[in-house]
Structure 1
Amino acid sequence: MCDTDHGYVRGWGVTEETVGSKKLSMAHGVIPPGAGATPHYHPFETAIYIITGTCRVLLGVENNRFVDIKAGDFLYIPTGVVHCPVNCGQEVMEYIVARSSPQEICLYPDQKYSSS
């Protein structure tokens, strides 16, 4: 597992680097209470399954839509949608994330993705 710049601990189990995946990645992670991310997006689809805890997620900066998720919930984030998860609960949020890319690519709203 590795610490990231937004309070997560994430262990990538399936990636291009770990198993030679060509179109998929999966990881296990935790977000401590009070921790969260800076608004960002990915140039691929993301699906998250919440194992424990709760989280509030900003989905899209145009409409500032917030979604509250909890243990047992799935969350789908389409390609290019800016999002920002924050653990507003009192316990660690544990999750599994799957993405339609073998690599971790995280961009911020003022950045554009170029595959070249």
Structure 2
Amino acid sequence: MEPTRTCRLIRSSRTYHGKQGFDYAEAISKESVDSQGICMHLLTIPPGQRAKAHLHQAHETAIYMLKGRSAMWYGEKLDQHMEVEEGDFLYIPAGMPHLPYNPSDTESCTALLARTDPNEQESVLLLPELEALWLKQQAPAD
């Protein structure tokens, strides 16, 4: 017999450490409420911190910047860049390599994230080779 599906309230008090290198506030996911097609959580990036280069296989991501400012390197070689400000919406297509970070040395930034993957971490694919290439590109010329 299948369990009865019903509405669920989540008061986010727990966090989990994602493969990307950030801590996320637990919210809506397959793991927390048995969602079937969406994962939603809150991310606060401390000043000066960045994620590991990654992509989400076959799943789209929608982000709303609640507080502060974030930035992101993205693209097949992480050679494109954008800044996201408070009140902005950001769409990341499935399979798009990206490396988000907080450019501020003093202020945290907070965003609400939603993905079409109900599992919190299942579709996360780390890209260490791409991150190494990006780090090499960021190094000052001698």
TM-score (norm 2): 0.71
**Cα distance change on mapping 1:91 and 1:70 into 2, 3 Å:** same
Deviation at 1:85, TM superposition (A): 0.4
Which residue number in structure 2 is paired with residue 19 of structure 1? 33
Which residue number in structure 2 is paired with residue 50 of structure 1? 65
The structure whose residues are more often helix, as a share, is: 2
**Cα distance change on mapping 1:70 and 1:26 into 2, 3 Å:** same
Which residue number in structure 1 is paired with residue 43 of structure 2? 29
* Between 60-69 and 39-48, the greater mean CA deviation after superposition: 60-69
* Between 2-11 and 79-88, the greater mean CA deviation after superposition: 2-11
Q: Which amino acid is 1:87 matched to?
A: N
Asked if 1:96 corresponds to 2:96, the answer is no
Q: Which amino acid is 2:53 matched to?
A: P
Trace 1:46-85 onto structure 2 (pairs within 5 A): 46-62=61-77, 64-85=79-100
CA RMSD in angstroms, aligned pairs only? 1.9
SS class of match (1:72): coil
> Aligned residues: percent identity?
32
Q: After the TM superposition, which segments of 4 or more aligned residues of structure 1 sit over 6 Å from their partners?
A: none
For residues 74-95 of structure 1, the C-alpha deviation after alignment (integer angstroms, 9 at most, x for no partner) is 1100000000001011310111
**Which sections of structure 1, spanning at least 5 residues, go unmatched?**
112-116
**Which sections of structure 2, spanning at least 5 residues, go unmatched?**
1-14, 130-142
TM-score (norm 1): 0.86
Larger Rg: 2
Asked if 1:2 corresponds to 2:16, the answer is yes
* 8 A contact 2:38–2:117 mirrored in 1: yes
